Amino acid sequence: MKYNEARHKFIQSWGTLGSSWGISKTMAQVHAVLLLSSKPLNQDEIMDLLQISRGNASMSLKSLMDWGLIYKEFIPGERKEFYLAEKDAWRIATQVAQERSKRELMPVIHMLDQIKEVNDSTATKSDLRELKTVTEDILSFAKRSDRMLSTFVKAEKNTFFNKILKLFK
Protein backbone atom coordinates (compact mmCIF):
# COMPACT_ATOMS: atom_id res chain seq x y z
CA MET A 1 0.00 0.00 0.00
CA LYS A 2 1.30 3.44 -0.89
CA TYR A 3 1.70 6.17 1.74
CA ASN A 4 -1.10 8.40 0.40
CA GLU A 5 -3.54 5.49 0.32
CA ALA A 6 -2.62 4.43 3.88
CA ARG A 7 -2.90 8.04 5.07
CA HIS A 8 -6.31 8.45 3.43
CA LYS A 9 -7.57 5.18 4.97
CA PHE A 10 -6.39 6.22 8.42
CA ILE A 11 -8.05 9.65 8.16
CA GLN A 12 -11.34 8.13 6.97
CA SER A 13 -11.29 5.40 9.63
CA TRP A 14 -10.41 7.85 12.41
CA GLY A 15 -13.31 10.01 11.24
CA THR A 16 -15.67 7.06 11.57
CA LEU A 17 -14.24 6.13 14.97
CA GLY A 18 -14.66 9.72 16.17
CA SER A 19 -18.41 9.53 15.84
CA SER A 20 -18.40 6.74 18.46
CA TRP A 21 -16.57 9.17 20.80
CA GLY A 22 -19.37 11.66 20.37
CA ILE A 23 -17.49 14.02 18.04
CA SER A 24 -18.20 14.84 14.41
CA LYS A 25 -16.58 12.94 11.58
CA THR A 26 -14.86 16.09 10.31
CA MET A 27 -13.53 16.93 13.77
CA ALA A 28 -12.02 13.43 14.00
CA GLN A 29 -10.57 13.75 10.50
CA VAL A 30 -8.90 17.04 11.45
CA HIS A 31 -7.50 15.26 14.49
CA ALA A 32 -6.23 12.42 12.26
CA VAL A 33 -4.48 14.88 9.93
CA LEU A 34 -2.72 16.46 12.89
CA LEU A 35 -1.87 13.06 14.38
CA LEU A 36 -0.13 12.05 11.16
CA SER A 37 1.64 15.34 10.56
CA SER A 38 5.33 15.50 11.39
CA LYS A 39 5.03 19.27 11.83
CA PRO A 40 2.43 21.72 13.12
CA LEU A 41 -0.16 22.70 10.49
CA ASN A 42 -2.14 25.88 10.02
CA GLN A 43 -5.85 26.06 9.30
CA ASP A 44 -5.36 26.63 5.55
CA GLU A 45 -3.21 23.52 5.24
CA ILE A 46 -5.83 21.45 7.07
CA MET A 47 -8.61 22.88 4.87
CA ASP A 48 -6.65 21.97 1.73
CA LEU A 49 -5.85 18.45 2.92
CA LEU A 50 -9.45 17.63 3.85
CA GLN A 51 -11.23 19.85 1.32
CA ILE A 52 -13.38 21.44 4.03
CA SER A 53 -14.66 24.98 4.54
CA ARG A 54 -12.97 27.57 6.73
CA GLY A 55 -15.91 27.52 9.12
CA ASN A 56 -15.82 23.73 9.44
CA ALA A 57 -12.05 23.75 9.99
CA SER A 58 -12.30 26.56 12.53
CA MET A 59 -15.08 24.88 14.52
CA SER A 60 -13.27 21.52 14.45
CA LEU A 61 -10.01 23.04 15.65
CA LYS A 62 -11.74 24.92 18.46
CA SER A 63 -13.61 21.80 19.56
CA LEU A 64 -10.45 19.66 19.48
CA MET A 65 -8.72 22.24 21.69
CA ASP A 66 -11.72 22.19 24.04
CA TRP A 67 -11.35 18.40 24.25
CA GLY A 68 -7.63 18.82 25.01
CA LEU A 69 -6.60 16.75 22.00
CA ILE A 70 -4.72 19.43 20.07
CA TYR A 71 -2.68 22.51 20.96
CA LYS A 72 -1.61 25.74 19.34
CA GLU A 73 2.05 25.95 18.49
CA PHE A 74 3.78 29.31 18.16
CA ILE A 75 6.19 29.49 15.23
CA PRO A 76 8.49 32.54 15.28
CA GLY A 77 8.02 34.81 12.27
CA GLU A 78 4.64 33.31 11.33
CA ARG A 79 1.40 35.24 11.61
CA LYS A 80 -0.87 32.23 11.22
CA GLU A 81 -1.79 29.94 14.08
CA PHE A 82 -0.40 26.43 13.91
CA TYR A 83 -1.77 23.31 15.55
CA LEU A 84 -0.37 19.99 16.68
CA ALA A 85 -1.98 16.92 18.18
CA GLU A 86 -1.24 15.02 21.35
CA LYS A 87 0.24 11.83 19.93
CA ASP A 88 0.48 9.60 22.98
CA ALA A 89 -2.33 7.03 22.62
CA TRP A 90 -2.72 6.65 26.41
CA ARG A 91 -3.15 10.40 26.89
CA ILE A 92 -5.61 10.58 24.00
CA ALA A 93 -7.67 7.71 25.45
CA THR A 94 -7.73 9.17 28.96
CA GLN A 95 -8.60 12.64 27.65
CA VAL A 96 -11.49 11.24 25.61
CA ALA A 97 -12.68 9.26 28.65
CA GLN A 98 -12.59 12.41 30.82
CA GLU A 99 -14.49 14.48 28.28
CA ARG A 100 -17.11 11.81 27.67
CA SER A 101 -17.66 11.49 31.41
CA LYS A 102 -17.99 15.26 31.79
CA ARG A 103 -20.26 15.70 28.75
CA GLU A 104 -22.37 12.53 28.93
CA LEU A 105 -22.16 10.64 32.21
CA MET A 106 -22.22 13.54 34.69
CA PRO A 107 -25.41 15.12 33.24
CA VAL A 108 -27.14 11.72 33.45
CA ILE A 109 -26.02 11.27 37.06
CA HIS A 110 -27.27 14.75 37.91
CA MET A 111 -30.64 14.08 36.25
CA LEU A 112 -31.03 10.71 38.00
CA ASP A 113 -30.18 12.29 41.36
CA GLN A 114 -33.04 14.74 40.78
CA ILE A 115 -35.48 12.02 39.72
CA LYS A 116 -34.89 9.90 42.83
CA GLU A 117 -36.36 12.75 44.87
CA VAL A 118 -39.74 12.47 43.10
CA ASN A 119 -42.75 12.81 45.38
CA ASP A 120 -46.04 13.06 43.53
CA SER A 121 -49.32 12.36 45.30
CA THR A 122 -51.11 11.95 41.95
CA ALA A 123 -48.96 8.96 40.93
CA THR A 124 -49.70 5.47 42.15
CA LYS A 125 -47.39 3.96 44.74
CA SER A 126 -46.47 1.14 42.36
CA ASP A 127 -45.57 3.63 39.58
CA LEU A 128 -43.43 5.66 41.99
CA ARG A 129 -41.77 2.51 43.33
CA GLU A 130 -41.00 1.30 39.79
CA LEU A 131 -39.60 4.71 38.77
CA LYS A 132 -37.39 4.83 41.86
CA THR A 133 -36.23 1.23 41.47
CA VAL A 134 -35.26 1.66 37.83
CA THR A 135 -33.63 5.07 38.22
CA GLU A 136 -31.71 4.08 41.37
CA ASP A 137 -30.38 0.98 39.57
CA ILE A 138 -29.26 3.05 36.59
CA LEU A 139 -27.82 5.71 38.91
CA SER A 140 -25.81 3.07 40.75
CA PHE A 141 -24.46 1.74 37.44
CA ALA A 142 -23.67 5.26 36.18
CA LYS A 143 -21.78 6.13 39.38
CA ARG A 144 -19.79 2.89 39.19
CA SER A 145 -18.99 3.63 35.55
CA ASP A 146 -17.82 7.10 36.51
CA ARG A 147 -15.58 5.68 39.24
CA MET A 148 -14.15 3.20 36.75
CA LEU A 149 -13.45 5.98 34.24
CA SER A 150 -11.84 8.06 36.99
CA THR A 151 -9.60 5.13 37.91
CA PHE A 152 -8.68 4.70 34.25
CA VAL A 153 -7.86 8.40 33.85
CA LYS A 154 -5.76 8.54 37.03
CA ALA A 155 -3.93 5.27 36.44
CA GLU A 156 -0.50 5.02 34.96
CA LYS A 157 -0.48 3.15 31.68
CA ASN A 158 1.58 0.17 32.88
CA THR A 159 -0.28 -0.14 36.18
CA PHE A 160 -3.64 -0.14 34.43
CA PHE A 161 -2.69 -2.76 31.86
CA ASN A 162 -1.04 -4.97 34.50
CA LYS A 163 -4.27 -4.95 36.52
CA ILE A 164 -6.35 -5.73 33.44
CA LEU A 165 -4.05 -8.59 32.45
CA LYS A 166 -4.41 -10.12 35.95
CA LEU A 167 -8.17 -10.30 35.38
CA PHE A 168 -7.66 -12.51 32.33
CA LYS A 169 -5.14 -14.95 33.84
Number of structural domains found in the chain: 2
Residue 72 sits in a domain of what CATH number? 1.10.10.10
pLDDT at 118 over 90: no
DSSP string of 34-90? HHH-SS-EEHHHHHHHHT--HHHHHHHHHHHHHTTSEEEE--TT--S-EEEE---HH
Domain assignment of residue 156, given as a range: 89-167
* The pLDDT of residue 141 is above 70: yes
Q: Are residues 102 and 156 in the same domain?
A: yes
Q: Do residue 152 and residue 113 come from a single domain? A: yes
Reported as a pLDDT band with limits 50, 70 and 90, residue 104 is confident
Q: In this prediction, what percent of the chain has a pLDDT beyond 90?
A: 59
Same structural domain, 93 and 81: no
Same domain, 97 and 37: no
pTM for this entry: 0.78
Plot region of 156 (φ>0 → left; ψ -120 to 50 → alpha; else → beta): beta
Domain termination residue (choose one: 60, 85, 110): 85
According to the model, what pLDDT value does residue 21 have?
Answer: 77
